[in-house]
Structure 1
Amino acid sequence: MTEDSPGAQPQTSSGADAPEIDRSIYRYVLRYTLRGQLFLLLLTVLTMPLVYISLDIPKRIINQAIGGVDMPDQILGFGVDQVSYLLALSVAFLLVVVISGALKFYLNVYKGVLGERMLRRFRFDLYTRILRFPSAHIRRTTPAEIIPMITAETEPLGGLIGDAIAAPAFQGALLLTYLSFIFQQDLWLGLASIALYPPQMYLIPKLQAKVNALAKTRVQTVRLLAGHIGETVQGATDIHANDSGRFERAKTSNQLGRIFDIREELYRRKFFIKFLNNILAQVTPFFFFSIGGYLVIQGDVSLGALVAVLAAYKDIGPPWKELLKFYQVFEDTRVKYEQVAKQFEPENMIKASILEDQEVVESLKGTLTASNVSYGEDENSQTVSGASFSLPLDTHVAVVGGAGSGKSHLAGLAARVLWPTAGRLSINDLDWSEVPEAVPGRRVAWVGSSAHIFSGTISHNLYYGLMNSPQNLDPKTEDKAEQRRLREALASGNSTDSAAMPWLDLAAGNLSDERALLEKAIKVLAVVQLDEDGYRFGLGMHATFSDQDGMRARFLKAREQIRAKGLEFVAFDPDIYNVNITVAENILFGNPDDPAFYPDRLPSNPLVTQLLRDAGLFDDFLAMGHKVAATMVEIFSGVSADSELFEQFSLVSSDDLVVLERILRDTTDAAVSDLAQLQEADQEILRALVYRLAPARHRLGIIDESVQQRLLKVRGMLRDELGSDNDSVNFLDAQAFNPGLNIESNVLFGAMPFGKPAVRETICREIDEAITAAGLREYVIELGLTADVGNAGGRLSSIQRQKLVIARALMKDPDLLVVDEALGPLDFNARSQIIKNVCEFMNGRGVLWVLETPALAREFEDVIVMGSGRILEQGKSEALEQQDGPFKALLTN
C-alpha cells in the first residue's frame, strides 16, 4: 500500500533539503498526502452505496419477503416464491456486509500507513531543523524538552493525519446516507432526527475553545517539568553536595500540582461536552417513538419503515459521535502541532541551503579574512566586537586572552560553528557565512573545550569526520527489501541513505585503502599521545582471525618469550591449580561456549555436580560454603550497602548478605547432616560461594592444598567426559590461541597475581616487550579501536575524550585546524608536547589555537590577543613578547 507504482525505480535523497514546516496542520497534511487523501475519499464514496443497500435490504425482508407485500415474481429472469425471495435477500445482505467490511478494512489500513508516513516525515523534518538551530538556541534548550516533542508529543499526529480528511468524509457520508434514508421514509421523522444538531454545532466549538487553551497551557507546563527533570539528572551531584534536594522536590511538586490543576479543569470541560452530547442524543428517540408511532397508527408510515428508521437512527449515533470526537481530537492535536512547530522555528536559523549536499569539496587555499566581525547571542551583549584579522591557511596562530575576552567565540567564527551578527568573514572573497556546510565540515576541523563523544567504538569516533560519503546500493537494485526501504523513505520525505552501508570517504583523508586508514589512525593517536591508551584497550579485547598473516604463530612466539622469562608461577598448567583464578575457572580450565558451563551456572550444572560427587567434594562444598557465608556475614556486618568493599572483595553483594543471614539462622551448626536439611535452593547458594573463591584474592584458607588436588582431579574428569573436541568448553592449550581469552591473557597464558603490584608491573612490561618483538603492537592497537566508549564517552577519562576529539580532527587532514582550549584536563608539559606534535603534523596548513595558558603561545608563529571582545594586539609571538603590551602583560601575570 504505497503511493508509488510498483514498477517505479526509487530516486535518492539525503533529506537535507526538507522544506519549511507549515503552521497549519491541514496545509502540512495536504501538501504531502493530497493524492492519498483523494484516494481515501474515493474509497469512502464506494462504501456509501453499500451502506445504503445494507439499510434497505432489512426493510425489504420485513415488508416484502416476510410480509408478502409487493414481492416481485422473478429476479434476474428467475422465478421466486416467498421463501426463495427471503433467502436471496438474506444472501445479498450477507454479501453486502462482507464487501463493505473488506473495503473498510482496506481503508483503515491505508489510513494507518498514510498517517505513519506523515508522522515519519514530520519527525524527520523536526530532526533536520535541530541541525539548523543556531548555537545560542541550542545552549538555551535542554534535551529533556526537545526529545519529548519529537517522540511523545508528535505521536497523536499519526492517527490524525490518516483521518484528517478521510474520517470526517467517511463519517459525514455515513451520516448523510442514514439521514437521506430517514427523510425518504418521512419528512417529519427526518426533521426530528436533525432537530438538535444545530445547538450542538453552536455550543461545542465554544466549549472546545476553552479546552484548547488549557491543552496549550498543559503542553507548555509539561515541557517546563521535562526541563527541570533533565536539569536534576545533570546536576544531581551538586544537589547532593548542597543539600538542596528538599528545595528541588518542592519545585517538582509545584510543577506537578500545576499540571494536576490544568488536567482537572480539562477533564471537567471535556466530560461536560460529552455529557451534553449524550443528553441531546437521547432526546431524539422521543420524537421517533411519539411522532413515528402516531404516523404508523394513522397509516401514513408502514411499521417496516419505522423499524428501518429506528435502525438507521441507531446507526446515526456512532458517526455523529465520531465526528464530534474527531473535532475534539483534531483541536487537541492541532494545538500540539502548532506548539511543536513553533518551538522548531527559533530566530536566526541556519539556512536550509547551507545543509545541501556537495559531493566534491576542493581544498581551501589562501587567507581567512575577518573584516569588522562582531558576534553576540542577544541584543544586549557582544562577545566579539569589530574584530579584523587575516589568517593565511599555512600559518599557525595562537589566540590568548583572559576570561570573557571573546577568544572562544572568535575561534567558533573562524571554524564556522558560529555565524557573525555583523561584519564579514571570507576566504579569498568567498563569503564564509554562505558556503555549504560540506566545505567547513570537511576542510576545517573544530575541537571545542568539551567536544562530544558519540556512542559506539573508538574507531567510530576517530573516523567520524570522514563519514560523509555513503556507499549506497544502486537505486535500480533488484533487492526487494532495499527497494521497499527506498520507496518508503522517499514517500515519507526521509533520507534514502542507508546507515548500514559504508560511509568512510577515504579520499577526503588522502587515503588509498583501509590499511592506509589504520596506519594513519595509529600515527594520529601517537600525535595526541593516545596510542598507549589504545594499546591498553586492545590488551583487554578478544580476537578471532583467519590467520592469513600467521597471527597465531606470532602470538605463540610472544607467549614463548614470556615463558622464557621465568613466569611459570602465573601460567596456566593443566596439572597445577592456579590460585589467581576462581574455583569455577580452575574446574573448567577453559572458556565455555555452552551457557550451561558459564562459571555462574556451574553450581546447577548436572555434569559438574556429578563429578564433584565422584570426587567426594559435593558435601564438602556445602560445608565450605557455610563457612564462607559465616565469614562474609561477620566481615560485612554493619558495612553500608554502597560500600566499595563489596566490589573489592567480589564475592558477595549487600543483597546476598540478607539471604546468607537467613540461611545461617536456619542451621544450628556446620555439620553436613544438619546442612543437608536445607532446601535445595539454599544448598546451591552455599555451594555457589565456593565456586567464586580465588585463594590468592580472598585468602580465607578454605581452598587448601588437599582441596586443590581434588579439584585438579575434577578438572581432568571434566576434560575426559567432554573430550578435547567439544562444543561446550574450549579447553586451554599452551600450543593454541584461545579466542575466549583476551589478548593479554593469551600472551601471558596465565592470570595476573593479586596483591603484588610490583610483580604485576614487571609482568606487564614483559608482555609489552613480547608483543612488540612479535610485531603485534599495531594489531593490538587496531583491536583497541574496537573498544566501546560508552554513552557520550563515559568509559573514557576526560583526558582521553579530549585527545580522541583532537585525533578525530586530524584524521580529516584539514586545511585549517581550530582548537578552543581543548587541553584543559592536561598538565602544562603534556599540553606543550601535544601542541608541538599537532603543529608538526599540520605543517604547511593553518592552525588557530585558543590557549588555556598564554605561555604556550611561544610554540606558535603568530599571536592574537583578545580582551573584552576586541582584538587588542596581533603579530609575531617573539616580537610581541619583547614589547610592552597586552601579550607581555598576560605572560607576566
Structure 2
Amino acid sequence: MEPTLFRFIWRHSKREQIMVLLLTLASFPFLYMTLELPKIIINDALSGEAGPHDLGFLSVSPVSYLMLLCAALFVLILISGFLKMRVNVYKGVLGERMLRRLRFQMMDRVLRFPMPQFQRTSQGEIVSMVASETEPLAGYIGDAIALPAFQGGTMLTILIFMFVQDPVLGLAATAMIPIQAAVIPRLQRQVNQLGKQRVLKVRRLSEEIGESVSGIRDIRINGTARYTLSGFSQRLGEIFGIRMSIYHKKFFMKGLNNFLGQMTPLSFYAIGGYQVIQGDLTIGALVAAVAAYKDLAAPWKELLNYYQRMADSNIKYDQLHEQFVPDELLEKQLQYCPGTEPFALDGVISLNNVSLASADGVPVFSNLSLTVEEGATIAITGTDTTARERFVEMLTRITPPTGGRILLGDQDIATIPETILGPNFGYVGPDSYIFNDTIFDNVFFGMKTTPDLAGDGGKPTLSSAQVKDDKEAGKLWMKEAEASGNSIDPYTADWVNYENIGALDQQDALNWWLQVIEVTGATETLFKLGLDTVIDPNEYAGMAAQILGARQYIRQRLTTRDQEHFVSPFDYQRYNTYASVAENILFGTPMDDRLATSQLAQNDYCHSVFKRFDLVEPIQEIGLKLAEMLVEMFEDLPPGHEFYEQYSFVDEEVLDRLPKILRQVQSKGRSSLSLDERNLLASLTFELRVERHRLGLIDEELQNRLVELRHYFHDNLPVELRDAVAMFDPHDYNPALSIRGNLLFGKVAFSLAGAKEKVEALIDEVLEDFGIKESVILLIRDLDAGVGGSKVPTLGRQRMALGRALVKRPKILIANAPLQAMAIDQRDVVRQRIRNLLPDTTIIWLDQDIVDDSDVDRRFEIRDGRLIETIDAQSDVAADMTKPTAYGNQTETADLALADDQSAEVRLLAQVPIFAHLQPQQLKLLAFTAERLQFEAGEAFYQPGDQPDGVYVVIDGMVDMIRGVRGEEMVVATLGPEGVIGELEVLSSISRVALIRAATKVSALRIDPMVFINFVRNDPELAFAVIRGIGLRSIGRADEWRQASKDLEDKAGAAE
C-alpha cells in the first residue's frame, strides 16, 4: 500500500493518466477557436462591410458568411463537447478501477492483520473504512491529474485569448488571482484539519452505535438508556462543534472568493468601456473578453474545489494508510504463494523454548518445549480459557510466538504459506465462524483452495454475464478485474479441491462427508433437517416415488406394531387436533401467499365462506383471547428473545401491535377495530393447534363445524384459487409439504409419551430399508445457514465447525473446546470416533476437562504459563452431582383435579416449590412452551446415557427413580404429582444417569431444556431453589442409599 495518495495514483494508473492528459491537451485548440469565432462573427459578419466576403477560394454573401461561421462554431462545439464527454467517462472509469483496486488491497490486508489489530480496531470501523470512507476517493483519483490539467489549461487558453485582445484587459483578469491563491489555501488548511478531526469523531460515533446495538439487552436490563443517550449526545455535540467551525471558515472562504471574483467584471466594464469610447478597443473584442471571463470563472472555481478535494482525499488516504499498515502484518507470500501446489506436511509438531507475551508485555507462556509425534493424541486441559486460546493461536500461526520456534517436522511454521498450511491443518474452536452461505459451502470451506476453471461453475459474476456462453462478457469481466488489480479467479467456479482428500468428484466427497457426519454425532440431527426439507417432486421424481412407497410401509408397520394411534392421519371427514386450524380448513398446504395463514382472513372467498358458516365473529373472539394470553406471557421478555421465534404465533413486530388492540377493545369494544386489526386477530386463531396449545378454545362442536366448512370450501373453490393449495391426497406427493409430512401423511401424536421418538425411529428404519436415508440427509447441503449460523441450533453450528475441520482429512487436528453444547462424556466419545476415522492424524485436544482419556497418549495441564504433564486416572463425575433431583411430594399422590385446558397446568406449576415464586405470566409462558405427555405403567421417561431432552414435572401418577446397584435395579425414590425430574442433567449438560420409569399411568409436562435454562439464568430465586434442592437431596438420600445397599447385602447373604 503506497504511503501517499499521489504515489498510489501514479504507480497504478500512470498510463491512463497520461492518456487523459493527451485528450485534454487535444481539446485546447478547439476551445480557443470557440472563443475566437464569436468575436469574428460580431466584428466581421455583423459589424463589417455589407458586401460579399472573400474567403480566398470563395466569395460569399454576408448571410452565407454568417451561416458559414455559425456552422463552423457548431462543429467546434460538437468536437469540444465530444472530447469533454470522452475525458469525463474515461476519468470516471479510471476512478472506479482505482477505487476497486484500493478496496481490494485493503481487504487483502485485513485478511493478513495480526490479531491484536482487531482488538484495536472494531469490526464497524473496518467496514466503514473499506466501504464508506474510500468512496469519495474515486472521484478525486479520476481527476487527480486530468482536472488540474484540463481546468488549468482552459484557464490559460482563456487568459491567452484575453491578452491577445488587449493586454490591459488581460492584466485586469489576472489581478485578483494572486490574492486568491495566497489567502484561500491558508483557510483551506484550517478546514482540512477540522475535517480530519470530524472523521475521527464520526468513526468513534459509529463504534459506539455498534456497541449500543450489541449491548441493547444490558442497557435495557440495567436501565442505563439515559446514560447511553447522554454519551451519544456528547459525541453528536463534538461533531456539531467541528461542523460549525468548518462552516464558518468554509463559507467565509467562499464569500471572499466570490467577492474577489466580482471585482474583475467591474474592472472590465470600467477599463474596457473607457477603451471602447476612446476607440482603442472594438466592441466585439470587449464582448468576447467579457464572455471569455465568464468562462474563466468556472475553471478557476473548479481548481479551488479541486484543491479542497485534494486536501480532503489526502487526509482520508493518510488515515486509511495508518490503519492498514500495522506492524507484524502477515507477509503476502505467506498468505498465497502462486505456483505452489499443496502437499502433505510432517505430522510431528515441536515447540522449542516457545514464549508468548501479551500486547502489554505480560508473559503468557515461558519457554515451552514439547514434541508431539505424528498420529498421536494429546489432551490439554485447564480452567484458564484465555491461555488455551493463546496456545491454539500460536499453534495455528494466528499469533506468532515472541520467542522460540514451532516446527512441523523440520520446517518452521512461520515460513510455511497458508496455501500449504491450510489443507494440512484442521482447526475447530468456540470462535469458529459459520458464514452466511449454504451448509455445504460452510463444511467444505476449508477445501476451497483452487478453482476448477474447466468446470461449469467458472462463469463471471457480472449481471451482464449471467447468460450462458456469453464469452464477450466473460472477457470484459476478466479485463476489468485485471485492470483493477483484483483477483481474476472466478468466484462461481467449483473451488473445492477434491484431490486433497482423495475424492474423485463431488459425489465421492459427499460420501466422505456422511462418514464425518456420523463421527460428529450429527447424523440424526441432519436427518431430521432433511426430513423437514420441501422438495420439488418434478426435480426429485425418483425420491418422491420412493417416499410414496415408504408412506405405505410406515402405515403398515404402525398397524402391525399397534402404534397407529401415534400418527393422526389426514382424513377429509375428520378434524385433526394435532394440525392447525388453517391446515384443517384448507386440508392441504398453501402453494403461495394467496391462501397463506396470514392471508386467509383477508381473502375475499375465504371471508365469504366464514361468513356463510357464521364463524367470522367466533374466529375473531378466539384470536382476541389468544392475543390477551400472548401479551401477558411475552410482555416481560427483552427484544430479540429466542422465545418469540420458537413459541409465539407471530413475530415481534405484530406482537407489539397487540397491546394497543387490546386497550382499544377494552375501551371501545371489538367493533371499533379496523378491518386489518380484525384480520390480525383471526390469523392468530388459524395458528392454533388443539393438542399442542391445550387452551380449550376449539371445542368438539367447533371442530365439526370447521369440517363442514372444509367441504364447502373445496366444493366451491374458484378456478383462480385451485392451484393455490396442495390438497392432502393419500396417493400423491404433496409438493408444499415436507418429506416427513409426506411420509406420515398426518401429524405425530406428540402428547403420547414416546410417540415422537418411536415414529422418528420408524421413519429412519423404513428409509434405511428403501436406501434413501443418505439422500435425505444430503438434501440439507443447500440449506442456508444464516448470518453467523443463526438458522442452525448451537450444537448444530459446533458440529458443522468440527465437520469443516475433519472433512479435509487434516494432517494435524487442533480442537479447542469443541462441542460445548454437548455433555462432557459425549465429547470424549466424539474424540474417540475421530481417532478411528483419522488414524494417522495428529490430534491436539484442548478442553476444560476430560472424563475418559483412554484414547489419549499424553495429557497436559496449562498452569501458570506452563504445560504440566499429568498421569491422572480417568476422572469420574461425582455421584452427588449426577443424581436426578426430585422436588415436592415424593411418597404421596396429590389430590388434584385437572381440567382439560392449560389453566390446570398453570395451577400445578404454581404448587411446585421451585416455580412457586414465578409471576402468573411466567407460569403461563412455562406451561405454554411445555409439552404434555402420557406414559403407561412400566414405560420409561429416559434411561442412563440418554441425552437430556427436558425437565419433567409430574401432573398425575407415580414415577420411580431407579439406579443399578451390583447388577440389580434399586428404586431410590418415588415421585408423585408436582415432582420435578432431570433438571440437574439439563443444567450440567451431562447424559442421563438414572432410569426414570412410570410406576402407574402418568401425565407429565416436559419443559424444553433451553426454556428451563433461560428461566434459571434470568431468575435468581429459581436458581437458588434448584441449588437448595440439590443440597437437600444430597443429605436426604444418603440414608436411603445406605439402607438400600444394606438390604441388598442382606439379600445376597441370605441367598448364599
Q: Which residue of 1 aligns with 2:804?
A: 808
Q: Which residue of 2 aligns with 1:497?
A: 489
The answer (yes or no) to whether the contact 1:415–1:445 under 8 Å persists in 2 is: no
- For residue 773 of structure 2, what is the aligned residue in structure 1? 777
What does 1:75-86 align with in structure 2 at a 5 Å threshold?
Answer: 75=55, 77-86=57-66
Seen in structure 2, the aligned counterparts of structure 1 residues 432 and 664 have a Cα distance that, compared at 3 Å, is closer
Deviation by residue 1:684-708 (Cα, 9 ceiling, x = unmatched): 6676666555555564247625523
Q: 1:583-636: per-residue Cα shift (whole Å, max 9, x none)?
A: 4433433334354333433444455556x2xxx843613333453355456656
CA contact (8 A) 1:454 1:793 kept: yes
Mean Cα deviation higher: 561-570 or 203-212: 561-570
The separation in 1 between residues aligned to 2:685 and 2:793, in whole angstroms, is 36
Tell me the residue number matched to 1:294.
274
Contact 1:641 1:654 in 2 (8 A): no
SS of 2:152's partner is: helix
- Secondary structure of the equivalent of 2:354? strand
CA distance in 1, matches of 2:753, 2:184: 79
Give the structure 2 partner of residue 700 of structure 1. Answer: 697
Alignment of 1:447-596 (within 5 A): 447-472=428-453, 479-544=471-536, 550-564=542-556, 565-566=558-559, 567=564, 570-596=568-594
Q: In 2, Cα distance between the equivalents of 1:635 and 1:369?
A: 63
CA apart distance, 1:405: 8.5
CA–CA distance in structure 1, aligned partners of residues 611 and 583 of structure 2: 16
TM-aligned CA distance change 1:43 to 1:645, over 3 Å: closer
1:437 aligns with 2:436: no
**What are the Cα deviations for residues 139-190 of structure 1, in whole angstroms up to 9, with x where unaligned?**
3321011100001100001111111111111111111111111111111110
The secondary structure found in structure 2 opposite 1:373 is strand
For CA contacts below 8 A with separation 6 or more, give which structure has more relative contact order.
1
Q: Provide the C-alpha distance between the structure 2 equivalents of 1:648 and 1:495, rounded to a whole number of angstroms.
A: 46
Aligned to 1:95: 75
SS of the residue corresponding to residue 369 of structure 1 reads strand
Q: What is the match of residue 787 of structure 1?
A: 783
Deviates more, 1:381-390 or 1:630-639: 630-639
Separation in structure 2 between the aligned mates of residue 633 and residue 391 of structure 1, nearest angstrom: 62
Shift of 1:709: 3.9
Identity of aligned residues (%): 33
The 1-side partners of 2:325 and 2:674 are apart by: 66
Whole-angstrom distance in 2 between the partners of 1:503 and 1:449: 26
Alpha-carbon distance in 1 for matches of 2:806, 2:206: 38
Segments of 5+ residues of structure 2 without an aligned counterpart are 461-468, 638-642, 876-1056
Whether 1:424 and 2:405 are equivalent positions in the alignment is yes
Rounded to whole Å, the distance in 1 between the matches of 2:408 and 2:51 is 92
Cα distance in 2 for partners of 1:316, 1:717 equals: 81
CA distance in 2, matches of 1:549, 1:633: 43
**How far, CA to CA, are the matches of 2:75 and 2:57 in structure 1?**
20
1:522 corresponds to which letter in structure 2? L
Task: Tell whether 2:739 aligns with 1:743.
Answer: yes
Counterparts of residues 79-228 of structure 1 (less than 5 Å): 79-228=59-208
Question: What corresponds to 2:249 in structure 1?
Answer: 269
The equivalent residue for 2:971 is: none
Cα distance change of structure 1 residues 76 and 439 upon mapping to structure 2, 3 Å threshold: farther
Tell me, in whole angstroms, the C-alpha distance in 2 between the residues paired with 1:879 and 1:841. Answer: 23
The 3-state SS of whatever aligns with 1:468 is strand
Note the alpha carbon deviations across 1:186-234, whole angstroms, 9 max, x for none. Answer: 1111011111111211122222222222222222222222222223333
How far apart are residue 468 of structure 1 and its match?
1.1
Is it true that 1:862 corresponds to 2:842 in the alignment?
no
Output one character per residue of 1:786-823: Cα deviation in whole Å (capped at 9) or x when no partner. 33222111233433322221111011101111122234
Alignment partner, residue 362 of structure 2: 381
* Offset, 1:520: 1.5
User: Is the alpha carbon distance of 1:549 and 1:353 closer, same or farther for their aligned partners in structure 2, counting shifts above 3 Å?
Assistant: same
Change in CA separation of 1:449 and 1:709 when aligned onto 2, cut-off 3 Å? closer
Q: Using the TM superposition, name which of 684-693 and 782-791 deviates more.
A: 684-693
* Distance across 1 between alignment mates of 2:824 and 2:682: 54
Tell me what 2:622 maps to: 628
Q: In the TM superposition, what is the alpha-carbon distance from 1:302 to its structure 2 partner?
A: 0.6
Question: What is the Cα deviation at residue 443 of structure 1?
Answer: 0.6
Normalising to structure 1: TM-score of the pair? 0.88
Q: Report the Cα distance in structure 2 between the residues aligned to 1:225 and 1:146, rounded to whole angstroms.
A: 14
Mean Cα deviation higher: 165-174 or 532-541: 532-541
- CA shift for structure 1 position 752: 3.9
CA-to-aligned-CA distance 1:386-436 (integer Å, 9 cap, x gap)? 222222222222223452894443333222232222222223332220111
Whole-angstrom distance in 1 between the partners of 2:740 and 2:632: 38
**CA 1:691–1:232: 2 relative to 1, 3 Å:** closer
2:814–2:843 CA contact under 8 A, matched in 1:
yes
Letter in 2 for 1:803: R
Query: Is the 8 Å Cα contact of residues 374 and 422 (structure 1) preserved in structure 2?
Result: yes
User: Larger deviation: 378-387 or 496-505?
Assistant: 378-387
Distance 2:754 2:410 in 1: 63
Contact 1:511 1:517 in 2 (8 A): yes
Displacement after TM superposition at 1:341 (Å): 1.2
Q: Which moved more, 1:518-527 or 1:74-83?
A: 74-83
Cα 1:147–1:83 shift into 2, 3 Å: same
In the superposition, the TM-score normalised over structure 2's length comes to 0.75
- 1:886 is matched with none
Partner of 2:966: none
**Is the contact between residue 851 and residue 857 of structure 1 (CA under 8 Å) also seen in structure 2?**
no
For 1:281, what is the secondary structure of its paired residue?
helix
State the distance in 2 between where 1:597 and 1:475 align: 39
Instruction: Please state if 1:799 is matched with 2:795.
Output: yes
- State the one-letter code of the partner of 1:257: G
Q: Pick closer, same or farther for the CA change 1:861–1:72 going to 2, 3 Å.
A: farther
Deviations 1:316-338 (A, max 9, x none): 11110010001001101110011
Change over 3 Å in CA distance of 1:642–1:459 after alignment to 2? farther
802, 818, 821: which one pairs with 1:822? 818
Counterpart secondary structure, 1:785: helix
Q: Who is 2:306 aligned against?
A: 326
**For residues 678 and 867 of structure 1, what CA distance do their matches in structure 2 show?**
67
Could you tell me which residue of structure 2 aligns to residue 394 of structure 1? 375
